[in-house]
Chain A
Amino acid sequence: MAERLTILVNGQPVDVRAGTVVAAALAQAGVTQFRRSLHGEPRGPLCGMGVCGECRVTINGQPHCRSCLTLCAPGMEVRTDD
């Protein structure tokens, strides 16, 4: 299970273990703020289980993806704060 893969987080390559969710990869890359609220406040994951929507990021161009339930895949492009 030591298989590793690389995704792009805001353009920067991040190397993670297979089985890592996107939210965790973002944390590994040092991202704390996943999105800004309507009034511009920083937000990050709250529920960790696909309920709250606070961990939403853009994955491969698709906005509003729940990063806590999405597994990293090789070459995946993730953007925060779009």
Chain B
Amino acid sequence: MSATADITIVGAGIVGAACAAACAQAGLNVVVVDRGPVGGGTTAAGMGHLVVMDDSPAQFALTAYSRRLWRELAPQLPSNVEFDPCGTLWVAADEEEMAEVRRKEAFYREHGVKVEVLDEAALAQAEPNLRAGLAGGLVVTEDAVLYPPGAARFLLETAPAGRVQVRTGIEVNAISRDGTVRLRDGTRLAAAVVVNAAGCDSPLLTPDLPVRKRKGHLVITERHPGFVRHQIVELGYLKSAHAVAADSVAFNIQPRKTGQMLIGSSRQFNANSTEINQPILDRMVRRALEYLPTLGQLTAIRCWTGHRAATPDKLPLIGPSLDCERVWLATGHEGLGITTSLGTGKLLADLLLKRPTEIPAWPYSPERLAHGDAPHG
């Protein structure tokens, strides 16, 4: 049925979509299969924050590269993708966190990322609804937000004509070592290479992948335009995101182009149900209210959970799988999949075609975790 496909991509989330778009750009014919709709898994559950992060040099390289690709794409994005270059505001609660602001500022400036430091007064002016008495903050001016399912759909629909075939509502049962994909209805899809971009489900199709589900909660509000102007994240977020063992919450709020706000964030391992965990939701909302006391009077319209596909070293898996050259991986992006999807797609296409990559690809190679030599841990 698709004997002409060069690549089968399992997963029509933003990562699968970006891989499909990059492969199609490179002249390959692609079939994308997903059990749900386009962008219906983790892509639908997350915030859609395009952010440069510097937990590690490799994380910085991939996020900065990807954000550059998003900004290049931005003029073409249709309105339903809701691209909004609102910037990220990292809030420092105290002098200790201000020291982190200055460290981050120096690092970002050195690497050509535009930033602006805010003192207490400038912070109050930038975000009047933040509580008084915060130390300051750092604005990363070129960070942005978008609506991830819309972006995934855009990437698939604007790929070069005829090169990408999307098949949704189709469950994949298995990926074989010979590069065929067996569907639930018994049919097979053959291609030169299969890419497992199934996110949280990727370990079900490629055994022994070091990918675990990390649960998150979000709340979305009614339209209250202008209540916050940047995506605001507490610098304590870094402590939360790093805390691997315990459940953690951090203040993270995102203004949507609709005037709505997304309130996050939480992180939990060993929590595979999709149900809302009231104690975690409670802690998450309380944390947000500590920073934005009047947020409590606004209207919440929906809460939900999602799972991030997390790896032990917080870097994605991009490249051929360990035991089979015809099965490739593009998974394990944890909370940064929306940002790093475009970089992932380009790296994957370049690696497939054995072209030089624009940033070093080895930090994301699946091999790294096999030898227990994670570069950052």
- Interface residues of chain A, those whose CB is within 8 Å of chain B, are 62-64
Contact = CB atoms under 8 A, between A and B. Distances in A.
B297 A64 contact: no
Interface in B287-310: 297, 299
Interface residues on B, range: under 10
A82 B224 CA distance: 11
B54 to A, nearest CB: 38
Nearest to B258: A38
A22 B18 CA distance: 50
A-B residue pairs, 4 tightest by C-beta: A64-B299, A64-B222, A62-B297, A63-B224
A41 to B, nearest CB: 16
Contacts of B297: 62
Contacts of B224: 63
Interface of B: 222-224, 297, 299
A72 B369 CA distance: 65
A9 B280 CA distance: 41
Contacts of B222: 63-64
7 contacts: A62-B297, A63-B222, A63-B224, A63-B299, A64-B222, A64-B223, A64-B299
A82 to B, nearest CB: 11
Nearest to A56: B222
A64 B224 CA distance: 9
A63 B297 CA distance: 10
The A contact surface, by secondary structure, is strand
B86 to A, nearest CB: 20
Contacts of A62: 297
A62 B299 CA distance: 9
A8 B139 CA distance: 42
Nearest to B297: A62
B15 to A, nearest CB: 30
A49 B98 CA distance: 51
A63 B260 CA distance: 13
A63 B299 CA distance: 8
A26 B238 CA distance: 50
Nearest to A65: B299
A65 B60 CA distance: 44
A63 B224 CA distance: 8
A73 to B, nearest CB: 18
Contacts of A64: 222-223, 299
A43 to B, nearest CB: 14
A40 to B, nearest CB: 14
Contacts of B223: 64
Contacts of B299: 63-64
A64 B227 CA distance: 15
A51 to B, nearest CB: 14
A62 B297 CA distance: 8
Nearest to A63: B224
A4 B299 CA distance: 31
A62 B296 CA distance: 12
A63 B226 CA distance: 13
Nearest to A61: B297
A9 B297 CA distance: 22
Nearest to A62: B297
Nearest to B259: A38
A57 to B, nearest CB: 13
A64 B299 CA distance: 8
B147 to A, nearest CB: 15
B319 to A, nearest CB: 43
A63 to B, nearest CB: 7
A64 B259 CA distance: 13
A64 B298 CA distance: 9
Nearest to A38: B258
B310 to A, nearest CB: 36
A63 B222 CA distance: 9
A23 B35 CA distance: 45
A63 B223 CA distance: 9
A66 to B, nearest CB: 11
A31 B223 CA distance: 23
